[in-house]
Amino acid sequence: MATNRTFTMIKPDATAAGNIGAITKMIEEAGFRIVAMRLTHLSRERAGQFYEVHKERGFYADLCAYMSSGTIVPMILEKENAVADFRKLIGATNPEQAEAGTIRKMFAKSIEANAVHGSDSDENAAIEGAFFFAGIQQY
């Protein structure tokens, strides 16, 4: 059975722009239940660990600098078909290609500063959730 959970974080561009509330509202209105949530920062080293799978990509160093530049809001979300439905709600990586009404279309600044993360599989959702919430009670 699918886990019915996914992992997201609101990224530094969106927290700096004051969009934590607006994005969280869209997530809840789309039927996701927030199971765990924090307001935190990543060091450059921790950002590097989180995005390790991208370490050979040209944008990796910039991405780690950006992701450690400000406040982030990691969350674990629950809903039927959570991973796929959440990817649909956030839209394409590049906001210029994101569909109207998606979170990235509405709030992202660029392909890098794209407002939110969304896990790409049940397996990664579990790994990424544990990265921020290991040992923390989830409701």
Q: Which is nearest to 96 in space by CA: 85, 112, 117?
A: 112
Contacts of ligand ADP in 94-133 (CB under 6 A): 111-112, 114, 117, 120
For residues 79 and 123, what is the distance between their CA atoms, to the nearest angstrom? 16
In this structure, is the dihedral angle defined by the CA atoms of residues 113, 21, 128 and 46, taken in order, positive or negative? positive
Contact status: 93 vs ligand ADP (CB under 6 A): yes
54 is a catalytic site residue: no
In the list ligand ADP, Mg ion, none, the entry touching 20 (Cβ below 5 to 8 angstroms by class) is none
Cβ-based nearer residue to Mg ion, 35 or 125 = 125
Cβ-based nearer residue to ligand ADP, 78 or 120 = 120
